[in-house]
Structure 1
Amino acid sequence: MNVVNWTNNNNESQSKSIRQSSETLPVIKKRISKRLQKHIQDTSFKELYKQQKLAEIVQKAMERNECQYEEYDEIKICGEIIKLNDKVIIKNEDSNVEDYIGAINKICSVVELSTLKLICLCEVQWFMRKNEIICHKPRARSWIGNQEIFSTNTNDYVLAQTIVQKCTVVDCEEYFNMENCDSTTYYNRLEWDVESKKFTNMNTIKLYCLCQQPWNPELNYIQCDKCQKWYHFECVGLKEGSYENKEYACGYCN
């Protein structure tokens, strides 16, 4: 809320309001916070549940005595034990969009004592998928693998029943060296800032080939036998398989 916009059109009043804004802003923020807290307290669990305001349900449960709030180290979902720090696949209600991936930070339950309604919740730290990144970084499409995910600092609560199953998240090198991996195995090497919509540690990634892009472990590369550098087949004008069991020298070394 901008206090400056509450001024009259004359310069004197506007100038006075600007000078006062730095002092009054903390008070205004405090009043807004109180109103929000009161809104959460006055809103029933049923309404919060309908609106999927799960974080507010947890906050309300922790602050009020009419609710029983418990935290756990593990939970059993569809016959599978889910523990803290486990990586999980979370169902997306939109069937046309890929399911979500998150790391379990907290497992808790809330019981409203008047109705004995039980709500099981998990706080997760989100990972971002390829399609969520390339809409902001279209040039990254070629080097981001289909099984690559990106860690974030964004947390949220989900209903425990929306967790589909556990999944595996490894680093890029480990993924490359795995002989067998299924669709529930992902790799992570970069962090994504959701607010600024950019990578936070891109400077740690080594670039390869003539195109100077990060390594994609899901693509095939050819290594120059002289300089030991790696290249995409397409970038150096080769067909895959044409240099099997043969020595290869790149354009710089040939």
Structure 2
Amino acid sequence: MKIFITTQGGQRIDLDVEPNFKTEDVKAKCAEVLRVSIPPDRWHLIFAGKEMKNGKTIFEQGVRKDMFLQLHQDEIMQIDVKTSNDKTIKLEVKPTDTIADVKVKLQEREGIAPEKQRLTFGGQQLKESVMLLDYGIGNNSTLHVIFNVDTIMNVFVKTFEGKTITLHMKPNDKVEDVKKQIQNKLGIAPAMQRLISGEKELKDGQELSEHIIVNNCILNLVSRLPGG
């Protein structure tokens, strides 16, 4: 059967394989086509967002006729991780590292357990099982981390009347949790609230950490017009 491999450089390789080919057999055929002598353990085959395991057949791992796989070579890249107090942590990683791997590296550097970390990139919270390459994270990319996500922090909310109220929140609280606290203090229904950080409106369903809301942040409360 024929399968298609795309490389990091965008090249497509058409391979004739058998269902009982193992992952390392496919890597070897790719090396032949590309005319390179790179050890198989430095190649990574990705299928359906997961790295394929050596010693297993491609059929076992769900590969069928005319399907596409990705081929990545080990390469060390540097990323920056910014903390909520503006500290920058430089890490050496590989594109095939998962977010869980990054959290372990941060734990080694900062001593904070992975479950106490929230990582975001481009405003999106990152899932532990996903690889960096799947998020488009490359060399010199910048991630944001919030540590100790169960720690209470102060969030200041400025109302449209010029009044400022103080809320006690956690980084993993959601935007609607903030709106409920505002309702308790000011009597404004959540449906009539718009919360702004910088120039961006905070969306219900997302955690404060996803919006890089940290201790002593200031949010602006804007009244939502009926039907708006």
TM above 0.5: no
Kindly indicate whether structure 1 or structure 2 has the higher relative contact order, using CA contacts under 8 Å at least 6 residues apart.
Answer: 2
Name the TM-score, length of structure 1 as normaliser. Answer: 0.23
